[in-house]
Structure 1
Amino acid sequence: MTSPALARRLGLTDAVVVGLSAMLGAGVFAVWAPAAQAAGAGLLVGLVVAAVVAYANATATAQLAAVHPVAGGTYAYGRAELGPWWGFVAGWGFVIGKTASCAAMAMTFAAYAVPEPWQRPAAAAAVVALVAVDLAGVTRTARVARVLVALVLVALAVVVVAGAAGGAWDVGGLAGGAATGGAYGVLQSAGLLFFAFAGYARIATLGEEVVDPARTIPCAITVALGTVMVVYVLLAVTVLGVLGAEGVAASSAPVADAVAATGWTWAGPLVRVGAAAASLGALLALLAGVGRTSLAMAREHDLPGALAAVHPVRQVPHRATLVVGAVVLALVLTVDLRGVIGFSSFGVLVYYAVANLAASRQRGAARRTPRTLQAVGLVGCVVLVVTLPAPSLVVGAAVLVTGVLGRAARLHLAR
């Protein structure tokens, strides 16, 4: 039996906010240090590379979403354009990588919000609260996301202004250590920085809940990604200019340390509030995205069919959301996954590689952008995947193969 459709309740502003809340997540406060360790000040070049790949991926996603306005994002697009196996690879990579990211975001929120002994209970409480928000309906999710995005943007604006006006900014910091890691280091930093761009996929995974999706989704992706690109460039220049490449690489909280170095001590608590809000915003968007992708996979029996249920009143995938929330809660209470940036990047880059391949197959009126962009996106995803840190590459590949073998076994038993 086909599961009921989700309700179309999100307008353009709502869709943009969902994308912003996902991209302006805790990654923007955490990703600079590993990127600087890989490339020094060359992370600025890595940021440009990541932005180019992200833009190419975004155009592919927008083109696909205009033709396939359903829940599930690239899982659904891959199935429609390339076949079930391609869709499964994309969906499995997304669900596994982003479920781990949910736990990481919850723990990052707790690290900024409460003392260490209380961090696991606070992280668990955040997961429970945001699952409840998601279950209340997609419009409630968008309203909460607006508040969190506003807090994050204010905090980041203070960081940039403090760097420019606080007297600690030095143009030499943009050049120091630029050769660290060479070209390989720059590409590795790009793969890590891509983690901070990847949230625009959340707009596409909500495709079944967006009003006029053929127009709204492409426009929302473009606006959200363009806004985030500007914010990230300003922030990267600020932290490098204030701390220098070596200072950024050695810092566990480079954004907060950059503000402290300017002498604006009053802004420190504001940055902590912004980081906590960013973590919650990312967690909220991730829970919504993973829940909708799980719904789409359950409809095709790539996940248990019971997860395909849609609540008759609130019209949300309540079972999928509850199961995802339960898994994240278990992870939060047992392990600390704040170091999963590389693993998450692996899953997301695989996801977008499938999106570019699927978009390149579209013909006629479905085409909105040149195929060259999809070629750039596909090659970029592959290059960034293979240059990720070795542990992330090995673990990501192992999880991906495990999922493929599991699906093959299920199909064999079904036959």
Structure 2
Amino acid sequence: MKDKGPALERTLSLPTVAISGIGIILGAGVYALIGEAASLAGNALWLSFLFSALIAAFTGLSYMELSSMFTEASAEYEYTRRSFGGTLAFIIGIMVILSGIVGAATVALGFAGYFSTFTGIPLLPVAFAVLVILSAVIFSGIKQSAAVAIVFTLIEAGGIVGMIIIGLPYIGSVDYLAIPLGIAGVFQASALIFFAYQGFEEIVKLSEETVEPERTIPKGLMIAVVVTVILYIAVSISIVSIGGYEAVAGSKNPFAMVAENTFSGGGTVFTIIALFATANTALLMMLASSRILYGMAKRKRMPGKFAWISPRTKTPVWSVAAVLLVSLVFLLPGEIRDVALIANFTLFFTFVVINAAVIALRFKMPEKSRPYRVPFTIGKVPVPAVLGIFTCLFFLSVMDPVILGVGVVLTVVAAAGSYLFPEKKESV
């Protein structure tokens, strides 16, 4: 059945996709959460980033294969529908939308933490304002959103490289295996830090706005993950080298704090950079969530209004508005750590299913074209996908019971919602 009316515009190239991916991933983790993670992992912060990177790598490979097979904006919803049917697909679609929405709220609180330190304005009004402004950018069109993301990404990457350079003279000054809470603290920090890698999966939602998405999206995803893993591990070593983990443990503005003690005006410089970084991540998370909501509406699994495209801006206006409104709700807890962990629950749950989908489709659709295939296969089973399942289950097991309870409630609500919008039989 052909869709009528305006469609999303294919304008994104490999450099734009890769830079957008780097921009989503970089902002939140080191600029907003590294202080909280340092209080758990100590000087072994780098090890927590490494463990989280392994999970991201396993699941990233699965996303690369699936995105080369199916190029719809509904992404995870489509992958799951083809593998396990409509009910689980709906649950995963809602989880993915929530991960972006909750993630945007988390990063907006990170933005507000830096901004409030700089100006004294309370957190919630600042976070509210930044989400509204970023939604206006998304409303304006994909070209405008991508242009803003590229500029912001260059600024935030420059900040991370700058912190790495600042820390070079201090390398070797601390014990990098000093762990105040033991290995359990490293794993808990890894579960929190995994939020820092959130973003590589958001790239696939841009498929309907990308040129040759079956090849461009997997390549862009790989570039984004490799670049960010290197930068994250390097900057985590650098920042604990400067004053030990105690200097940043629990800080809401760790980069600015370290820089202020290192050179005159450093706090101001890194506060400004952090504002760009966190705003960029929130922008791209909201953009991605609006696209999967749009994609599910096209499949009649959400109200049809969310599939409406503005003839002028070529953007799904009502989807963007819905994402904004729910993001504002998730600002209310006000505690960045708890909001980030809720977002991580939705990610771990989703990634278990996505890794399983790669395995299932190897048997269910062996003839389907796969421009990219997950390597290291035994029979038809890709080993990285199996490892991705087990590592995500492990990190779910070490999460706070309260966060797990919230996650279970969200899952049950999503399952109930699938009956409100049952899957329509259609030719595929």
Q: What TM-score does the superposition give when structure 1 sets the normalisation length?
A: 0.91
**2:411 is matched with which residue?**
400
Residue 336 (structure 1) aligns with: 334
Amino acid at match of 2:66: L
8 Å contact from structure 1 (residues 3, 310) kept in 2: no
- Identical-residue share of aligned pairs (%): 26
Residue 22 of structure 2 is matched in structure 1 by 20
> Which amino acid in structure 1 is aligned with residue 416 of structure 2?
L
SS in 2 for 1:158: helix
> Contact 2:32/2:107 (CA < 8 Å) preserved in 1?
no
C-alpha deviation, 1:388, in angstroms: 1.8
The 1:409–1:144 alpha-carbon spacing in structure 2 relative to 1, beyond 3 Å, is closer
Pair 1:108–1:39, CA change in 2 (3 A) = closer
1:321-379 per-position Cα deviation (integer Å, ceiling 9, x unaligned): 122123334554x5525231111111111122221111112334426123001111111
Distance 1:53 1:110 in 2: 29
Contact 1:61–1:355 (CA under 8 A) maintained in structure 2? yes
Alignment of 1:143-222 (within 5 A): 143-165=147-169, 168-177=170-179, 180-182=181-183, 184-222=184-222
Aligned partner of 1:45: which letter? L
- Shift in Å, 1:293: 1.2
1:266-295 Cα distance to aligned partner (Å, 9 max, x none):
222111011101111011101111101111
Cα distance, 1:69 vs structure 2:
0.6
Instruction: Between 82-91 and 226-235, report the one with greater CA deviation.
Output: 82-91
Take 2:175 and 2:255, find their aligned partners in 1: how far apart are those partners? Answer: 15
1:221 CA displacement: 0.4
Q: Give the SS at the match of 2:199.
A: helix
Structure 1 position 119, deviation (Å): 4.5
2:325 corresponds to: 326
1:278 aligns with 2:280: no
**1:121 Cα deviation from its structure 2 partner:** 3.8
Which residue of 2 is the match for residue 39 of structure 1?
41
Q: For the residues of structure 2 that align with 1:209 and 1:335, how far apart are their CA atoms? A: 34
TM-score by length of 2: 0.88
CA displacement 1:179-222 (0-9 Å, x = unmatched):
6232x333222221111011111210111111001110011001
Question: 1:117: how far off?
Answer: 3.1
2:137 to 133, 140, 150: 133
Amino acid at match of 2:215: R
Tell me which moved more, 125-134 or 316-325.
125-134
In structure 1, what is the Cα distance between the partners aligned to 2:411 and 2:27?
25
Deviation at 1:249, TM superposition (A): 2.8
Q: Which amino acid aligns with 2:80?
A: G
Which residue of structure 1 lines up, in the alignment, with residue 378 of structure 2?
none
Distance 1:250 1:170, change over 3 A: farther
For 1:337 and 1:128, the matched residues in 2 are separated by 20
Out of 294-303 and 284-293, give the one that drifted further: 294-303
Is the 1:156–1:274 contact (alpha carbons within 8 Å) kept by the matching residues of 2? no
Q: Give the corresponding residue for 2:379.
A: none
Equivalence map 1:328-367=2 (5 Å): 328-332=327-331, 334-339=332-337, 340-363=339-362, 364=366, 365-366=369-370
Higher helix proportion (structure 1 or 2): 1
**Structure 1 residues 315 and 50: CA distance shift in structure 2, 3 A:** same
Within 1, Cα distance between the matches of 2:82 and 2:312?
29
Contact 1:26-1:279 within 8 A present in 2 as well: yes
Structure 1 pair 252–137 and aligned structure 2 pair: CA distance change class (3 A): closer
Shift in CA distance, 123/13, structure 1 to aligned 2, threshold 3 Å: same
Whether 1:267 aligns to 2:266 is yes
Q: Is the 8 A contact 2:301 2:422 kept in 1?
A: no
Preserved contact between residue 188 and residue 389 of structure 1 (Cα < 8 Å): no
**Structure 1 residue 393 displacement after superposition:** 1.7
**Quick one: distance in 2 between partners of 1:2 and 1:349?**
35
SS of equivalent to 1:362: helix
Over the residues paired in the alignment, what is the CA RMSD in angstroms? 2.2
Alignment partners' CA distance in 2, 1:162 and 1:250: 21
Question: Is 1:307 the equivalent of 2:309?
Answer: no
Give the 3 Å change call, closer, same or farther, for CA 409–325 of structure 1 in structure 2.
Answer: closer
Map 1:5-84 to 2 at 5 A. 5-84=7-86
Whether contact under 8 Å (1:17, 1:142) holds in the other structure is no
SS in 2 for 1:369: coil
Structure 2: distance between partners of 1:138 and 1:395: 33
Tell me if structure 2 keeps the 8 A contact 1:42–1:180: no
The answer to whether the 8 A contact 2:195-2:343 is kept is yes
1:122/1:252 Cα in 2 relative to 1: closer, same or farther (>3 Å)? closer
Q: Is the 8 A contact 1:73 1:201 kept in 2?
A: no
2:190 counterpart letter in structure 1 = A
Measured after TM superposition, the shift of residue 15 of structure 1 is 0.5
Contact 1:174–1:245 (CA under 8 A) maintained in structure 2: no
Q: CA deviation at 1:169?
A: 4.9
Task: Pick one of 369, 378, 386 that aligns with 2:389.
Answer: 378
Contact 1:3 1:308 in 2 (8 A): no
CA contact (8 A) 2:300 2:421 kept: no
